[in-house]
Chain A
Amino acid sequence: MSREKIREFATAIGELAPACHDVAAARAAGHPDLVAPPTFPVVFTMPRIEEMLRDPGLGWRFEGTVHGGQTIEFRRPVHAGDELVCTIEIAGFSTRAGTNMLTVKCACADAGGSPVCDVEALLLSPAGDAG
């Protein structure tokens, strides 16, 4: 997790809190380094999820996939300097009213193996022969 990526993301969502931009301010507020905004973990987990969904072996129709929902749970905030290892699993699948609904969970832990956050995406795709 780099300082510049956190600053760039915070700027893009209009988050001007000093703890997201200024290391001294973040430390003064009790953080070890810059704090990532709460939706930042989706930035580094979604590309891994997309990679998995595009794998023909999964049988998911990627074209037409829509992001239906998102949850993020924190044990602690994500900070600049964190090295996170994310483990992806399929947490649920169902079909309702012609729509395939897939829940994908990413568990993110720090370099020491302590859990930091769990990111769960709900993805929707029209049901058809694939899926």
Chain B
Amino acid sequence: MSSFEEGAELPPLSVTLTRTDVVRYAGASGDFNPIHWSDRVAQQVGLPGVVAHGMLTMALAGRLVTGWLGDPGAIRSFGVRFTRPVPVPDVVDGVDSGEGAVVELSGVLKSVETVDGVRTGKVDIKAVFEGKTVLGRASAVVTLPG
């Protein structure tokens, strides 16, 4: 189980978010704030255009961690700050722009301890869009396999 030792790097995850992805997340989450589907409203509040939900970016960070552990129920605590918006390009000629917004996720197992016989670890997470981090203080405490 050397991949779950202190200092281990998580397999990185790169996700391309399209406008359809953001609209689908709005429907699934019930968050219909128009900055997530109307360029006009987003621009009125000073954004370049429609932005992804912060919670969608956080969910991708969750996938990075649970995908590595192989168990969507392995997270004990999970926290982030939303530090920078992720603008997502509009559809072109009725279909998603092939470019989308590429979010790069990576993480490191910073520390490991055994509590009540269960191995737990603290993972520091990085989410980067166009070279800049979009989540601050992103970390999770997880139950480690084995």
Is A1 positioned at the interface, with any CB of B under 8 Å from its CB?
no
Whether B55 sits at the interface, judged by CB under 8 Å, is: yes
Stretch with Cβ within 8 A of A (4 or more), from B79-87, B111-119, B125-133? B79-87
Chain B, residue nearest A8 (CB):
B28
The verdict on B146 contacting chain A, using a C-beta distance below 8 Å, is no
Most chain A beta carbons < 10 A, residue from B29, B31, B136 = B29
CB-CB contacts of B18-32 with A at 8 A, as 1s and 0s?
Answer: 000100110111110
B71 CB within 8 Å of chain A: yes
CB of A93 closer than 8 Å to a CB of B: no
Report the minimum CB–CB distance from B138 to chain A (whole Å): 10
B58 located at the interface, meaning its Cβ lies under 8 Å from any Cβ of chain A in the complex: yes
- Which residues of A1-54 are within 8 A (CB) of B? 8-15, 17, 19-20, 29, 31, 35-39, 42-43, 46-47
Known: A12-B29, A35-B73. 14 other contacts (CB 8 A): A8-B28, A12-B25, A13-B59, A17-B70, A17-B72, A36-B72, A46-B31, A67-B54, A68-B81, A68-B82, A69-B81, A71-B78, A74-B75, A74-B77
Contact sample, A vs B, 29 pairs, CB 8 Å cutoff: A8-B28, A9-B28, A10-B72, A11-B24, A12-B21, A12-B27, A12-B29, A14-B21, A15-B59, A15-B66, A17-B70, A19-B73, A35-B73, A37-B62, A37-B66, A38-B65, A38-B66, A43-B28, A43-B29, A46-B30, A46-B31, A47-B30, A69-B136, A69-B137, A70-B55, A71-B80, A73-B78, A76-B73, A77-B72
* Residues on A facing B (Cβ under 8 Å): 8-15, 17, 19-20, 29, 31, 35-39, 42-43, 46-47, 64, 66-74, 76-77, 122
